[in-house]
């Protein structure tokens, strides 16, 4: 199985309102809910691709129970979340029907105690024994040390399990130093890590800092991969319009499934790019359009890239 | 006991954010939750005044379970809510720390089935047997007929239980025609009901439409009571500054407790006005400041009002 870690799981709630005006009262016309947090989104896409997936991290309170209830109904995903005394956060996406724009409100997440964090590390070590790859995804809830991902990467490496890190800021900086197999920063996260706004140069710098491979997601510009086996750029056949929520998580699922299936880098990148574009095209945030995925897969351009130096 | 009916209960959630900007992403710095819906707020104030209170209405889903869990921890309130297959709504108040203003997002509430509505009417009839007064409060969830309050008023009148109605729009219009003992519209609800923006004239019209007594809440202008026993205006000693959320529910609690304690109209109005002002002054939305209430109670001015005609 593939293991995904979501320390800060979420109940993702989407509201539709006619027009969002600060300081006014709004009737929400439509409410949708689903389990969220990057690692759970990655797991959903992996399961849709036919992989066995186990999710771990924390879940607590009424929101955590709702996340687990909905996960139980999702086919192909094994729930190995650990209980936490605090409540799983909500994220609220308010979609303005007039403009189509989204306003996001994110709760911080539960305060994790040292005992809960210790229990997680033990459970994680045991889950790794059955894992072919692991993805560490998203923000850290309050109470989890900023070097958490670095420790989880070392444990995975010691167990011989390939590890992908998808986070930002200081947790990314510390994590990279622990030598993950792959990181998937967006342009902003990569610039924050390296100080360089030139993606190829920044990706090479990230590799020098410890990441074995770097796949930078450049939004409509596609993916830029910098690896020991070579450098590639993957671009979708045309600019796609839609909701980019979850597109990055689909890239992670594409890369991770390609890794365990031992695909070549160009094939992994084509899959990740097609999944990402098919996610933008899907009407529901974070879902992907299967027909569009199949159609796009053969039309992604993957080209070798020259060195930046 | 006093019975309060909240057909559309809520989990009231308050978020603090630094500054709310449409189409941006916000980290919520503080999250608070409490059981909500007008009848539940009224019950909390009645319990704080020392009355035995039973709450009924509907609760369902993860949000409904959370409402009931929190009600169980509230002293002096008996939970007689009925299960419903849909989920109890959330209301989200987003407080902008920069301006102090609040933006409100209200979910519509669960779709109530005919069988659930029938079960409620039966349970309500049984609860009335032990009630000294009943308050029917707030909006109707989807599926409950617009004439719902009219039917509940007739049942209460047949049981000889005094009934207060606090709602707006068409449910208020239909409810008034069923001859409730008391309605408590705000200026806007009263104008919508009668077409008149002159409160005393509108209140007299509302009485002609069927309400035995009308107490109009005029915000900082205090209360205007039009009853078979006379007309009064009650005004707080000074304009109070703070959060008006729940002030109207405190008025209902003041009037209802005064009714079952057989206070005179001027004493009921003084209590309701002082409670309302003490609610505006309390730091937490919907709570009231006990010290301020005691201090304000003796300083509310209640004066007899001449007829509008």
CA dihedral A273, A14, A31, A253 (to 10 degrees): 30
| Separation between Cα atoms, residue B165 and residue B174, nearest integer Å | 11
Q: Do B105 and A24 touch (CB under 8 A)?
A: no
Decide if B31 and A96 are in contact by the 8 Å CB cutoff.
no
Q: Which of A23, A28, A108 sits opposite B103 (nearest CB)?
A: A23
B233: tokens are: 């205006």
Give residue B300's pLDDT.
96
Kindly list the residues from chain B whose CB atom is less than 8 angstroms away from the CB atom of residue A63: 62
A104 closest CB neighbour out of B25, B29, B63 = B25
Q: Is the pLDDT of residue A243 over 80?
A: no
- Does residue A262 or residue A242 have the better pLDDT? A262
For A296, phi and psi rounded to 5 degrees?
-75, -30
User: Which pLDDT score is estimated for B101?
Assistant: 86
CATH level 3 topology of A1-19+29-144? 3.40.1190
Residue A241: per-residue pLDDT: 81
Confidence check: pLDDT of A257 > 80: yes
Q: A12-26, B146-160, B203-217, B240-254: which range is least confident on average?
A: B240-254
| Per-residue pLDDT tens over the stretch B1-32 | 999 999 999 999 999 999 999 999 999 999 99
Q: Please, how many CA atoms are within 13 Å of residue A10, restricted to the half-sphere of its CB?
A: 24
Interface test with A, best of B19, B28, B95 (most A CBs within 10 A): B28
**What CATH code is assigned to B2-7+37-86+110-304?**
3.40.1190.20
Region B92-110 average pLDDT: 92
Closest CA to B292 of B303, B283, B301, B305: B283
Kindly indicate the confidence band of residue B227, based on its pLDDT and cuts at 50, 70 and 90: very high
Query: What is residue A307's predicted lDDT score, i.e. its pLDDT?
Result: 65
- Summarize pLDDT for A90-112 with one digit per residue, the tens: 999 999 998 888 899 999 999 99
Mutate to test the interface with A, among B103, B169, B285 (most CBs of A within 10 A): B103
Whether residue B307 lies within 8 A of chain A, CB to CB, comes out as no
Q: What is the pLDDT of residues A191-219, one digit of tens each?
A: 999 999 999 999 999 999 999 999 999 98
The answer to whether residue A106 neighbours chain B at the CB level (below 8 Å) is yes
List CB contacts of B243: < 8 A, sequence separation 6 or more: B102, B280, B282, B283, B285
> Taking CB atoms and an 8 Å cutoff, what residues of chain A touch B62?
62-63, 65-66, 69
8 Å CB contact of A23 and B66 = no
pLDDT tier at B55 (50, 70, 90 boundaries)? very high
pLDDT for position B94:
94
CA distance B301 to B303: 6
Task: Give the pLDDT score at A123.
Answer: 98
Q: Cβ contact (<8 Å) for A63 and B65? A: no
Distance from C-alpha of B150 to C-alpha of B174, rounded to nearest angstrom? 6
- Please tell me which residue, A309 or A180, carries the higher pLDDT value: A180
Contact B104 A26 (CB under 8 A): yes
* Cβ partners under 8 Å of residue B73, min gap 6: none
Q: In terms of Cα–Cα distance, which of B81, B166, B72 is closest to B116?
A: B81
- Note whether B112 and B86 are within 8 A (CB): yes
Q: What is the pLDDT of residue B308?
A: 54
Cβ contacts of B102 on chain A, cutoff 8 Å: 23
Of A12, A166, A181, A249, which one is the catalytic site residue?
A249
* pLDDT score, position A141: 96
Residue B28 tokens, joined: 């919520």
ipTM of the complex, rounded to two decimals: 0.85
Q: Which residues pair with A104 in a beta bridge?
A: A93, B25
pLDDT band at A239 (very low <50, low <70, confident <90, very high): confident
Cβ contact B71:B88 at 8 Å: no
B101 contacts chain A (CB < 8 A): yes
The CA-atom distances, in angstroms, between B85 and each of B64, B108, B109 are 10, 15, 11
Whether residues A104 and B65 touch (CB distance < 8 A) is answered with no
pLDDT in tens, B105-149: 999 999 999 999 999 999 999 999 999 999 999 999 999 999 999
Q: Which residues of A touch B106 (CB under 8 A)?
A: 25-28
Among residues of chain A, what percentage have pLDDT more than 70?
99
Q: Which of the residue ranges A46-50, A244-248, B60-64, B259-263 would you say has the lowest mean pLDDT?
A: A244-248
CB hemisphere CA count around A158 (13 angstroms): 10
Nearest to A22 among B28, B29, B101 (CB): B101
pLDDT at A309 over 60: no
Confidence of residue A220 (pLDDT cuts 50, 70, 90): confident
Count the neighbouring beta carbons within 10 Å of the beta carbon of residue A117: 19
Between CA A303 and CA A300 the distance in angstroms is 10
For residue A61, what are the CA distances in angstroms to A39, A86, A249, B200?
Answer: 19, 6, 25, 49
Could you tell me which chain B residue has the CA closest to the CA of A95?
B23
Triad A98, A28, B174: Cα angle to 5°? 120
User: Is A79 a known active-site residue?
Assistant: no
Query: CA A43 to CA A1: how far, in whole Å?
Result: 11
Q: For residue A92, give the H/E element and its range.
A: strand A89-96
Q: Across all residues in chain A, what is the average pLDDT?
A: 94
Write down the residue that tokens 């729940």 correspond to. Answer: B246
With a cut of 70, say whether residue A1 has pLDDT above it.
yes
Write down the residue that tokens 């990441």 correspond to.
A211
- H or E element in which residue B194 lies: helix B187-194
Percent of chain B having pLDDT more than 70? 99
A152 close to A5: Cβ distance less than 8 angstroms: yes
pLDDT band at B228 (very low <50, low <70, confident <90, very high): very high
Contact state of B26 with A94 under an 8 Å Cβ cutoff: no
The domain spans of chain A are 1-19+29-144
Tell me the nearest-neighbour CA distance from A148 into chain B, angstroms: 21
Report A:59-88 residues touching B (Cβ under 8 A). 62-63, 65-66, 69
N residues, chain B: 309
Instruction: Report the distance separating Cα A189 and Cα A138, nearest Å.
Output: 12
pLDDT at B307: 65
The DSSP code sequence of B70-131 is HHHTSTTEEEEEEE-SSPPEEEEEEEETTT--EEEEE-------HHHHHHHHHHHHHHHTT-
Q: Using CB atoms, which residue from B24, B31, B103 is nearest to A24?
A: B103
Query: What is the pLDDT of chain B when averaged over all its residues?
Result: 94
Contacts of A105 in chain B (CB under 8 A): 15, 17, 26, 28, 92, 94
Q: Hey, what are B206's tokens?
A: 């509302």
Can you give the pLDDT at residue A244?
Answer: 81
Alpha helices in B225-281 (DSSP H): 247-260, 265-281
Q: How far is A23 from chain B (nearest CA, A)?
A: 4
């Amino acid at each position: 199985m593939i293991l995904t870690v979501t320390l800060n799981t979420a109940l993702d709630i989407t509201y539709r309102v006619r027009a969002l005006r600060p300081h006014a009262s709004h009737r929400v016309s439509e409410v949708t809910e689903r389990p969220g947090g990057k690692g759970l989104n990655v797991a959903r896409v992996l399961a849709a691709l036919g992989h066995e997936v186990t999710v771990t991290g924390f879940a607590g309170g009424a929101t955590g129970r709702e996340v687990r209830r909905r996960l139980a109904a999702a086919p192909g995903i094994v729930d190995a979340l650990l209980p936490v005394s605090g409540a799983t956060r909500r994220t609220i996406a308010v979609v303005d029907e007039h403009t189509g724009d989204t306003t996001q409100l994110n709760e911080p997440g539960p305060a994790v105690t040292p005992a809960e964090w210790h229990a997680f590390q033990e459970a994680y070590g045991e889950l790794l024994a059955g894992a072919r790859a692991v993805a560490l995804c998203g923000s850290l809830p309050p109470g989890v040390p900023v070097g958490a991902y670095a420790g989880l990467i070392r444990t995975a490496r010691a167990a011989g399990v390939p590890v992908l890190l998808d986070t930002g800021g200081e947790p990314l900086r510390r994590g990279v130093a622990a030598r993950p197999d792959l990181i998937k920063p967006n342009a902003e996260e990569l610039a924050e890590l390296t100080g360089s706004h030139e993606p190829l140069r920044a990706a090479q710098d990230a590799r020098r800092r410890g990441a074995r491979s770097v796949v930078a997601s450049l939004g409509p510009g596609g993916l830029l991969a910098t690896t020991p086996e070579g450098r590639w750029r993957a671009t979708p056949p045309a600019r796609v319009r839609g909701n980019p929520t979850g597109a990055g998580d689909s890239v992670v699922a594409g890369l991770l499934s390609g890794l365990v299936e031992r695909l070549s880098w160009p094939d992994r990148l084509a899959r990740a790019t097609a999944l990402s574009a098919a996610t933008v095209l899907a009407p529901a945030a974070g879902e992907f359009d299967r027909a569009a995925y199949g159609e796009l897969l053969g039309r992604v351009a993957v080209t070798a890239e020259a060195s930046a130096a």
